[in-house]
Amino acid sequence: MRPRFVILLVAVTALLAIVPIVGSPVMVQFGISTLLFAVLAQSWNIIGGFTGYPSFGNSVFYGLGVYGTAIAMAKFSLPFGVGLVCGAILAMLCALLIGLPVLRLRGQYFAIATLGLSVAMAAVFSNIEIAGANIGLILPLTRADGMFYELSLGLLVACVLCVFWISRSRFGMGLIAIREDEHAAASMGVNTTLYKTMALVLSALFTSIAGGIHAYFITFVDPASAFDSTLNVRMVIMTVFGGPGTVLGPVVGAFVLSAVYELLANWISTAAALLFGVVIVVAVIFMPRGIADLAAGIRRQGISYLLQNIRRYRL
């Protein structure tokens, strides 16, 4: 990585960090949700992008983070930080427990099995008394949107650094090997079960902390919003849009798509959902491997990169 690029990244992060001081409250609101989406996309990238396991269970980890934090704070009056740790532990344990049996499945079977989990988990939490059952839990109101923003930004930086480490480490190479050919990876001495479970647990860690921050920020949690499977779909879309298996792709994907969604929603509200869909379809046709690949491809081949994509994938 060139030093110029590192300096630019640091500058962008610094710029983002001062948004609460110089920006309007609307920007801070938008920033919080966008940064959290970027964390979710980046976490999904670990299991979905690097390891090649399309998880639809990440909304379970998100929900556990939400509820871990909410129960600790609302029922036991514990501080926010302790709540986040509770949520993270809960989610990582869950990842460990479900990872061992479910990670034996491949491809669409893995996707279906994990998809069932979030529905099941919502049903479980609607019947747990300590989680407020179906009525939900209320968290204390804090007038500190700046803090939520900086926390989200900090979490995103940590998550990106972690993925950067993965992309250069033996562990990451193992994950990529599993994605490309799991049998070959195993025969080369990669402990596939350990690697896959580790990837899922790491993914659960960041996802659940994002959930915990969002719970305290929004002050109310219920099973429907905590275990929302459309959230998982958005993680996948953002990652794929940005470039799965790359370090910055999911972050850029989350930022760009959040901005597009927000602009469409506020300016042309009725057709927003439709246009958002069009953006995704066009993106999949012209840059099926994400923005990260687009950037490299255009530099290499210019505009013909887009056409070549269509030919290559026989659209």
List residues near other proteins by CB under 8 A: 5, 8-9, 12, 15-16, 19, 23-27, 29-31, 33-34, 126, 133-136, 138, 141, 143, 145, 218-220, 222, 224-225, 248, 252, 255-256, 259, 262-263, 265-266, 269-270, 272-273, 291-292, 294-296, 298-299
**Which amino acid belongs to residue 134?**
N
Question: By three-state DSSP, how is residue 23 classified?
Answer: coil
**Which amino acid belongs to residue 45?**
N
Minimum distance from CB of 167 to other proteins (Å)? 15
Is the separation of the CB atoms in 62 and 254 below 8 Å? no
Minimum distance from CB of 5 to other proteins (Å)? 7
Determine how many CB atoms are found less than 10 A away from the CB of residue 120.
12
Minimum distance from CB of 29 to other proteins (Å)? 5
Angle at 156 between CA 19 and CA 247, to 5 degrees: 120
Distance of CA 21 to the CA centre of its chain: 26
* CB-count burial class (<10 Å; 0-12, 13-18, 19+) for 33: middle
| Residue whose pair of structure tokens reads 């659960």 in the numeric block | 204
Minimum distance from CB of 73 to other proteins (Å)? 13
- Of 26 and 100, CB closest to other proteins: 26
- Of 141 and 189, CB closest to other proteins: 141
- Of 29 and 197, CB closest to other proteins: 29
Minimum distance from CB of 246 to other proteins (Å)? 9
- Of 54 and 136, CB closest to other proteins: 136
Euclidean distance between CA atoms 315 and 313, whole angstroms? 6
Q: Which two tokens stand for residue 129?
A: 């008394």
- Of 31 and 99, CB closest to other proteins: 31
